[in-house]
Structure 1
Amino acid sequence: MNKKKLMLIATAALMGAGAMAQQVKFVEYDLDNGLHVVLHQDKKAPVVAVTVMYHVGSKNEQVGRTGFAHFFEHLLFEGSDNIKRGEFMKIVSSNGGQNNANTTQDRTFYYEVFPSNQLELGLWLESERMLHPVINEIGVKTQNEVVKEEKRMRIDNQPYAKFNEEIFKRLFTNHPYHWQTIGSMEDLDAAKLEEFQAFFKKFYVPNNAVLTIAGDIDVEKTKQLVATYFSDVPKGAPVVQPSIKEAPITKEMIDTAYDANIQIPAVFAAYRTPGSTTRDAQVLGLVSKVLSGGASSRLYKKMVDDKKNALQVAAFNYSLEDYGAYITLALPNGNAKLEDLLKDMDEEVAKLQTDLISESDYQKLQNQFENDYVSANTKMVGVAENLSDGYTYNKNTNEVNEELKKIRSITREEIRDVAKKYLNKNQRLVLYYLPKK
């Protein structure tokens, strides 16, 4: 047997093993109070991730009261009727665990990762957060200062940190995606304690959440523990997600924004795109990889390697539940003009809209996505988040096992046609992002 054929057999065997590893088995069910429960057993390591995803983000806020969802990401670590103020994280760390939370425009995700013998502790902590957190003036004032400091560090004083805000407030005029997740500090200052309490009562209820547990667990014992800690949480009123439509963009918008934290300008082209649950959004993810997925991508090779007129170039689909924003950007090298960088990016987009990518590029694209997919499911908290996403956005927890098949079914023709459908000059914002003197 020749060496080449042996390599092909070995590659096929490895791919087969990878496909088997990618299948995520799980059990799911609902409690009487509406809490959706997902259990994934994986005994490769003695760890367990306990996670809760609430279907609430900044899009569930009101004008004049923005930033509530992100604020609650912090506030719900303050303590509960049975956890003293400031003790939540100490309990986690003293028992060998790690914890964190994050908020997007569409959902809020809390998690703890523990040695598997501390599963019950993780369930107790999350049930305390859901059942009776302490929401009082002391906690609100404390976390208000924490959020302000986070905004100063992560946004106000960071280079290029405000470009999302500048793009989204121009792409969206009606939808709450108009404002950023961190919201307005003035809104938080003006809010009364009763408003925070009402926000919690409305959104942080079991029927608006999914509890996902992944790792070294006994499924039947875990079901019993879940019932013990969560069955008594009262069901809330049904949560209705906002349904707000934006009028199509039919004329190119050209604008300028200024940032006191930068010395090198940038140019952005942003297009409003469909929500993450659509097939077109998945196709746009592949379009991004063609344009800027690594050092061999088209934009990087052309502008950074060959012409050397860009220090940095990128294209990505900022995909959210209701809409997305497809963004291309470039930073000039030396005296390169922003208009020329925009022209170079537009040329590569135009090629995608007219010519099919090659078979070899298509295969490389599939391989890149498969590697990303496998990497996303290597840690238990990543598996739990992916399972939770599938249920939260599509009521289809098994999406974690279907995603790879969907991507493999996307054709070269679809990549061309979707680029042609959404990435047109009359459908976009061009934003010149300049240093502020």
Structure 2
Amino acid sequence: MLSSTAAQAQKVEFTEYDLPNGLHVILHQDKTAPVVAVSVMYHVGSKNEQVGRSGFAHFFEHLLFEGTQNIKRGEFFKLVSSNGGQNNATTSHDRTFYYEVFPSNQLELGLWLESERMLHPVINEIGVKTQNEVVKEEKRMRIDNQPYGGFANEMFKRLFTKHPYNWQPIGSMADLDAATLPEFQAFFKKYYVPNNAVLSIAGDIDIAKTKDLVSAYFSAVPKGAPVDYKKVIEEPITKMIVDTAYDANIQIPAIFAGYRVPGMTDKDSKAMEMISSILSGGASSKLYKKMVDEKKNALQVAAFNFSLEDYGAYLTLALPNNNTPLPELLKDIDAEVASLQNNLISEEEYKKIQNQFENNYVTANSTMLGVAENLAAGYTFHNKNTNNINQELDKIRAVTRQDIQAAAKKYLQPNARVVLYYLPASAKASK
């Protein structure tokens, strides 16, 4: 029997096709509101960068708003807002996603803006220098001056020693400073090409008219060379790695544990997401109840699965209350993990977690932007399976209690992890 949430999930209908230049186009019509989302997902993220030249994909997230041959510097955002729209972009380890959400009568403007970004970007010294300062300020705010802001970088560089997941998408400022203009231009030419992109449009559109507009604006973009990417294989961690990192922005220490797990298309990735929710998804979760409510030895405790394309990173963390020793916190987390490994979760817990994930699915597709992104992600990451958007519920329901137990046993082993003592910088000074 379907939960009430799942019953709300409507099948997402879509039309998809390729332009001769390789651009994959996905169109979803929904006339419930006069809104349209126009998006382009480029299959390029920080994992496509080279050692010594990190941060390029995130840099281009900013740089490609600088202007084009037909859009003056600083005009991109003004064109959007003055026509009732909103826009932004995000970069991950695996992809860069640009979008505009407009009143549906501005569909053509959205298509023109994205075609300009792909066909006529101005990549010059002025733009590079301007965005270099913008990225540096972002890094200062989000990472360098943010309490615990460096934890992901510290964990990933220990979990991944060969793979480009070793660094975070924002990259190294020294790498960006050292890069030359021709290097930036070459990165654009290699990755920001139609055959490495998905144009996903969702909302109040006419399919036939939209096809004509897409052809008018994107057919002239020249096809790029095939993008050749080969996954870098990491050797399994077979002995627990224990290390220490220091953060000048914190006063309360933390302890992290990290495990390398399968990438997002593996069935076990969904099981790992469920495990994180069982352990720390809200006030009724196992770790929160035990450590924050009952023992009161933790101010905060969490478990989460970074679900990426080539691998995932499963992390747990705890901040102590009442000066509880960090090893004691790790011991308590390990005890709850061991319980998952040795016992099936109850039917009641299982139904709860299924309902949570089904609700998340419906929520993710509740906006036109969410639909556009999830359609593009299905094609980009699930072996060109755009219909993945309609298969997620089945994948959620296919994960059994036994699957959850087996995944916990397989991946959350003490000898296959990194344990990081994340301490105030003052602790290093007093050593």
Q: What TM-score range do you get, normalising by the shorter chain?
A: over 0.9
Identify which of 159, 165, 170 aligns with 1:171. 159
1:18 matches 2:8 = yes
8 Å contact 1:60–1:242 — kept in the other structure? no
1:351 matches 2:303 = no
1:242 Cα deviation (Å)? 2.8
Identify which of 409, 416, 423 aligns with 1:427. 416
1:84 matches 2:67 = no
Letter in 2 for 1:238: P
1:241 Cα deviation (Å)? 1.7
8 Å contact 2:5–2:362 — kept in the other structure? no
Structure 1, unmatched stretches of 5+, are 1-10
1:336 Cα deviation (Å)? 1.1
Letter in 2 for 1:423: L
In structure 2, what is the Cα distance between the partners aligned to 1:102 and 1:165?
18
1:396 matches 2:385 = yes
The 1:342/1:13 distance shift into structure 2, 3 A limit, reads: closer
In structure 2, what is the Cα distance between the partners aligned to 1:320 and 1:233?
30
Could you tell me which residue of structure 1 aligns to residue 429 of structure 2? none
In structure 2, what is the Cα distance between the partners aligned to 1:170 and 1:139?
34
Identify which of 211, 222, 247 aligns with 2:210. 222
In structure 2, what is the Cα distance between the partners aligned to 1:355 and 1:85?
60
SS of aligned partner of 1:80: coil
8 Å contact 2:246–2:424 — kept in the other structure? yes
| Cα distance per residue 1:228-263 (max 9 Å; x no partner) | 000110000000123210000000011110000011
In structure 2, what is the Cα distance between the partners aligned to 1:15 and 1:168?
35
1:337 Cα deviation (Å)? 1.2
| Cα distance per residue 1:116-150 (max 9 Å; x no partner) | 00000000000000001000010000001100111
Identify which of 46, 55, 60 aligns with 1:72. 60
Greater mean alpha carbon deviation, residues 330-339 or residues 92-101:
330-339
Could you tell me which residue of structure 2 aligns to residue 257 of structure 1? 245
1:58 matches 2:58 = no
Could you tell me which residue of structure 2 aligns to residue 338 of structure 1? 326
In structure 1, what is the Cα distance between the partners aligned to 2:175 and 2:403?
43
Could you tell me which residue of structure 2 aligns to residue 376 of structure 1? 364
Identify which of 180, 199, 222 aligns with 1:211. 199
SS of aligned partner of 1:329: strand
8 Å contact 2:3–2:355 — kept in the other structure? no
Could you tell me which residue of structure 2 aligns to residue 243 of structure 1? 231
In structure 2, what is the Cα distance between the partners aligned to 1:111 and 1:397?
18
Identify which of 305, 308, 316 aligns with 1:328. 316
| Matched ranges for 1:89-168 at <5 A | 89-168=77-156
Could you tell me which residue of structure 2 aligns to residue 45 of structure 1? 33
In structure 2, what is the Cα distance between the partners aligned to 1:16 and 1:78?
42
8 Å contact 1:283–1:415 — kept in the other structure? yes
1:180 Cα deviation (Å)? 1.0
1:306 matches 2:282 = no
1:15 Cα deviation (Å)? 5.0
The 1:69/1:358 distance shift into structure 2, 3 A limit, reads: same
Could you tell me which residue of structure 1 aligns to residue 354 of structure 2? 366
The 1:236/1:320 distance shift into structure 2, 3 A limit, reads: same
Q: How many residues align?
A: 425
The 1:14/1:180 distance shift into structure 2, 3 A limit, reads: closer
8 Å contact 2:62–2:131 — kept in the other structure? yes
Letter in 2 for 1:103: T
Structure 2, unmatched stretches of 5+, are 427-431
8 Å contact 2:125–2:181 — kept in the other structure? yes
Identify which of 278, 288, 304 aligns with 2:276. 288
Letter in 1 for 2:316: T
Letter in 1 for 2:46: S
In structure 2, what is the Cα distance between the partners aligned to 1:140 and 1:249?
39
1:405 matches 2:397 = no
Letter in 1 for 2:112: W
TM-score, normalised to structure 1, is 0.96
SS of aligned partner of 1:336: coil
Could you tell me which residue of structure 1 aligns to residue 406 of structure 2? 417
1:67 Cα deviation (Å)? 0.6
In structure 2, what is the Cα distance between the partners aligned to 1:164 and 1:375?
27
1:202 matches 2:193 = no
1:17 Cα deviation (Å)? 3.9
The root-mean-square deviation of aligned C-alpha atoms, in Å, is: 1.1
8 Å contact 1:173–1:246 — kept in the other structure? yes
8 Å contact 1:370–1:404 — kept in the other structure? yes
SS of aligned partner of 1:360: helix
SS of aligned partner of 2:391: helix
Letter in 1 for 2:290: K
SS of aligned partner of 1:398: helix
8 Å contact 1:210–1:388 — kept in the other structure? yes
TM-score, normalised to structure 2, is 0.97
Letter in 1 for 2:412: L
In structure 1, what is the Cα distance between the partners aligned to 2:244 and 2:223?
48
- Provide runs of 4+ in structure 1 moved above 6 Å: none
